[in-house]
Structure 1
């Protein structure tokens, strides 16, 4: 009896596919969304409040010296990822921070979303970020970084800076300044700088020496 050729072909094809399947194993290189690992917080805190303090001098065991509050962070929710190799904490529902200088004058910053990187003590603020100093100066931008170690604040995004002292409003892109705002540098400025009419009129009325 002659064995049909097509049956022999089907058997060979089946064996080939099986060998190919088992030889490949799970060596498929995942990319994009498939490559993402699921990361879950080690803890979640609601109505979170964190107070940063600073001692006026070195505190010994029996000392009665009190520490000074330098900032207070509040948020509806904090997610704790400090169990990871590069630890951080997120504030998915926004946050509000109060800063106090050496004279206890308060400045505030708020944002729709925030991340604190524990290893570097860098704060990344995103979405409708507003920084307002005790004297009324205000910076508005979409993202702002607070470097607490170097007491430095910066953004690479577009911003609006309002200074009520001289009545000016400045638009630009990218800004660096120190925490006490003794140094302020804007990378790029554009748009109009508004000057109060009173100053313009005063300049026009200034007598000119003959």
Structure 2
């Protein structure tokens, strides 16, 4: 009987091992697919015309208008962001309805830090037609502050300024320049 019990146990262990061996499959392909999905945008939008309004004193005021051909939403990432691979045109309006236009070939908006990274042919045109040109510009939405460490040209009616490194508030009233050149006029 012991031989028979040993034979049964041996067959039972073999059957379980064979079942486990054939029931397991290589999930490496599935693991790779999960990694791809995490690197893909959670959403994609085309031909965006987003208007941000503010309700004040029984009237709706247009504060900003974002235009873009394409937006990729990566809010599924650990550090969420939105990417605009074909660039943006952003029109910002002050309380008097004056418009400032921001253009770039590429942009990324980081949700957690409220930072916008504008790249490629960045242009900012104010109501007074003052225009800033640079290849990369960061904008801190909380502080309403723009800055770059790149070469820039700032064309104004009082003269052009060019240099490397530019910091400014959103109105271009408080400007700091790292290295300056060109013609400029200083107010007392």
Q: Give your verdict on TM over 0.5.
A: yes
What is the root-mean-square deviation in Å for CA atoms of aligned residues? 1.7
1:21-72 deviations in Å (ceiling 9; x for gaps): xxxxxxxxxxxxxxxx751101110001222233437xxxxxxx34422111
Residues 61-72 of structure 1 mapped to structure 2, 5 A cutoff: 65-72=58-65
Of 166, 183, 186, 1:193 maps to: 183
Which of 154, 160, 163 aligns to 1:169? It is 160
In 2: Cα distance, 1:120 partner to 1:155 partner: 17
Q: 1:55 to 1:147 in 2, by over 3 A?
A: farther
Superposed counterparts of 1:24-173, under 5 Å: 38=36, 39-56=39-56, 65-164=58-157, 166=158, 168-173=159-164
Q: 1:67 & 1:119 partners in 2: Cα distance?
A: 28
Runs of 4+ aligned residues of structure 1 deviating over 4 Å after TM superposition are none
Q: CA deviation at 1:170?
A: 1.1
SS at the partner of 1:159? strand
Distance, in Å, in 1 between the alignment partners of 2:141 and 2:59 is 22
Quote the residue 1:205 is aligned against: none
Q: Any gaps of 5 or more consecutive residues in structure 1?
A: 1-36, 58-64, 196-210
CA separation in 1, counterparts of 2:51 and 2:115? 16
> How far off its partner does 1:194 sit?
7.4
Alpha-carbon distance between aligned partners in 2 of 1:156 and 1:102, rounded to the nearest angstrom: 30
**Number of positions where the alignment pairs a residue of Structure 1 with one of Structure 2:** 149
Shift of 1:182: 2.2
Residue 132 of structure 2: SS of its match in structure 1?
strand
- Which residue does the alignment assign to 2:175? 184
Q: Which residue of 2 aligns with 1:7?
A: none
